[in-house]
Amino acid sequence: MSDNSRRDFLFKGLLASASLVGCAEKKNPFDSEENFQLTGEKVKLLSVTGEVIEIDKAYLKPVPDMPPISNEEERRGIPGKKFVMVIDLARCKNLKKCQSACNHMHQLHPGQSWIKVLSMEDSDHTAPYWQPTTCMHCDEPPCVKVCPVDATFKRQDGIVLIDSDRCIGCRFCMAACPYSTRVFNWEEPILTEEVAQKHYSCESSMPQKKGTVGKCDFCPDMTRQGELPHCVSSCPNGVFLFGDMNEDSVTNGAETFRFSELIKDKAGYRLMEDLGTKPSVYYLPPVNRNFPFEEGLENARPETTE
């Protein structure tokens, strides 16, 4: 028995150190209230110190789903970063791969999307172009100003996020956003079972919650892993360039540019500069286009072409 409890102690201690650091443990790891029925079947495991250890199979249980980082950290953002996106309109032909990847990864409600590819024509005699529109992650975000409960907030890395656990669903932010980027969960979201059981995280914006607002989040869960947002990696034409303004570089996965030079050389601009919202999304004008505008028409919803 003493042998058993010693092993118990060792193993649980190991589990505790191997489990995610910084999470509030609900249970005391040394508390052996659960009764294990030993199976006699042993399993070999590699400990964190590199030793091969052997334990009874009965001790194996899935690590409970824990939020990888605390809500406080999610609200603070990734230190030292200032995320920026450049959308090259010369490369877009309305393939909407960005949209479908985003919708799929965030399990958005059918018909709703966080990225819209708009058919734009600035005036009667100017050339039409396709404009993918995400959240602008403004440095002076009108949505954050009006939120009564701090459910939408600006992080130090420049990202504007929503905490769906706090949102009261007043939709003032939707009225305040001049880019109409926000969507609302009008009904119970349709989620896969796996996602529905997950802990909510502001960074992944998953699982969506009924009665709260959602929008493009710049995929901070991906950036934290050093990967690109889904729209960037899914675009075959490299329209989206994502990066860090502090490093002065943006990339679409295949090509990397110096952000300041790219904006200078190609005369980058931001949407509705006159409103003073200071977006973090820059556009490169649709000049020397890779595709004619008409090629995108086949992908447009019928009403877009009216």
Is 140 an interacting residue with respect to other proteins (CB under 8 A)? no
Comparison of 151 and 250: residue with beta carbon closer to other proteins: 151
**Residue 240: closest CA among 223, 255, 250, 252:** 252
Is 135 an interacting residue with respect to other proteins (CB under 8 A)? no
Comparison of 178 and 268: residue with beta carbon closer to other proteins: 178
To other proteins, the closest distance from the beta carbon of 133 in angstroms equals 6
To other proteins, the closest distance from the beta carbon of 280 in angstroms equals 17
**Which residue reads 């939408």 in tokens?**
152
Comparison of 79 and 148: residue with beta carbon closer to other proteins: 148
Is 169 an interacting residue with respect to other proteins (CB under 8 A)? yes
With contacts defined by CB under 8 A, name the span among 41-49, 107-115, 192-200, 221-229 that binds other proteins.
107-115
Among 92, 167, 222, 262, binds other proteins (CB under 8 A): 167
Is 150 an interacting residue with respect to other proteins (CB under 8 A)? yes
Is 118 an interacting residue with respect to other proteins (CB under 8 A)? yes
With contacts defined by CB under 8 A, name the span among 28-36, 175-183, 260-268, 288-296 that binds other proteins.
175-183
**Which value, to the nearest 10 degrees, does the dihedral of the CA atoms of residues 47, 50, 53, 55 take?**
20
To other proteins, the closest distance from the beta carbon of 102 in angstroms equals 12
Q: Cβ distance 171 to 132 under 8 Å?
A: no
Q: Cβ distance 222 to 231 under 8 Å?
A: no
Is 176 an interacting residue with respect to other proteins (CB under 8 A)? yes
Is 58 an interacting residue with respect to other proteins (CB under 8 A)? no
Is 174 an interacting residue with respect to other proteins (CB under 8 A)? yes
Among 15, 45, 97, 172, binds other proteins (CB under 8 A): 172
Among 53, 58, 90, 146, binds other proteins (CB under 8 A): 146
Comparison of 86 and 117: residue with beta carbon closer to other proteins: 117
Is 216 an interacting residue with respect to other proteins (CB under 8 A)? no
Whole-angstrom distance, CA of residue 306 vs CA of residue 299: 14
Q: Cα–Cα distances in Å, from 69 out to 19, 36, 61, 74, 78?
A: 13, 30, 22, 7, 11
Is 116 an interacting residue with respect to other proteins (CB under 8 A)? yes
Comparison of 117 and 232: residue with beta carbon closer to other proteins: 117
Among 22, 62, 79, 111, binds other proteins (CB under 8 A): 111
Question: Which residues contact other proteins (rule: CB under 8 A)?
Answer: 99, 111-113, 116-120, 133, 142, 145-151, 166-172, 174-176, 178-180, 182-188, 210-213, 271-272, 275, 301, 303-304
